[in-house]
Amino acid sequence: MTPTTRPRRLRHNPRLRALVRETTVRPTDLIAPIFVTHQRGEPRPIGSMPGVSQWPVELVAREAEAIARSGVTAVLLFGIPEQKNATGSDAWSETGVVQRAIREIKQAVPELVVIADLCLCEYTDHGHCGVVNGTVGKADPRLPEGYVLNDPTLEIYGRIAVVQARAGADVIAPSGMMDGMVAAIRGALDGAAYDHLPIMSYSVKYASGFYGPFRDAAQGAPKFGDRATHQMDPGNRREAVREHALDVAEGADILMVKPALAYLDVIRETRDRFPELPLAAYNVSGEYAMVKAAAQNGWVDERRVVLEILTAMRRAGADLIITYHAKDAAQWLSQPGRP
């Protein structure tokens, strides 16, 4: 009888399946976002993101400690400032909400990697990611109302990066999708003697409908217009390669694709084109909220679906996954009998 190959031979019990599993997810692959607010009191639950809260600066170390205990080794900070204005000046204040949070976390959990998101949408009164045409100085009539001005915004990004570095951030993560943002931030950091700090660039960030709950959480929705002039069109994949290549040339240390679940092909393309750099995938708020809603209705097994989604992102090529499920996923991954 001619021997035949039967793949099912390697599936007949959980121990054997685990032994030959090609793709795994570990708690150390995950990054937990934290929303930090200047407001005092107890953490404020975010209605559209069950299980996620805005943390007062005075209490944020408590959440960081819980994340570290779960086995997750990195956090990504977003700030909700006390005051907003046209240029988002609280973002580069020494006493800004994220800078204060960095100091609190590094004092309480010094071993935790603290990544500082760098953008202006949470800090501006108009909700856009940079200086908007006509809101500061004379408007340029050649540009549409609400257009984000690239180069004036880069100068501000450089200021923010230095202040975040001075507060103790381990990684700077620019998310504004301005042309030249990595070069501007790299130059500012190097000039301030922070050349050792890496940049995790939101190098490919799509103008996605999956950000809705985040905008509630960070209170940074645009007051007019949208972000399609600087974030990527969801139909474009070749352009993503170009965006990554520009950021690599400017000195990015870690690349990112955001969102993740609807862009697994872009993650795979990125991994194939740029194998030398770590790659992060952002499992965004809308992706999180959909799973939560379905689980609360009893339509899906949350644990099983989340681990399957995270595995898909790793299988597509992501080294790191930013996810609001980080703490729960870390606990599930440590439990025996996981799929």
Residues annotated as part of the active site: 205, 258
Tell me the one-letter amino acid at 320.
L
d(CA 30, CA 26) in angstroms, rounded, equals 7
CA distance 227 to 139: 19
- Between CA 6 and CA 84 the distance in angstroms is 63
Give every CB contact of residue 117 below 8 A, 6+ residues apart in sequence.
76, 77, 78, 98, 173, 175
Residue in the structure block whose two tokens are 């032994």: 19
Helices (H), 80-194: 97-108, 150-167, 181-191
* Rounded CA separation 152/61 (Å): 34
Residue 54: in which H helix or E strand, if any? strand 53-56
Q: Which amino acid is at 152?
A: P
User: Who's near 187: CB < 8 A, 6+ residues apart?
Assistant: 158
Residue 69: how many other CB atoms lie within 10 Å = 12
Contacts of 323 (CB under 8 A, 6+ apart): 30, 31, 32, 33, 283, 288, 310, 329
Q: Using CA atoms, how far apart are residues 104 and 256, in angstroms rounded to an integer?
A: 27
Residue 189, amino acid: L
Closest to 95 measured CA to CA, from 38, 41, 173: 38
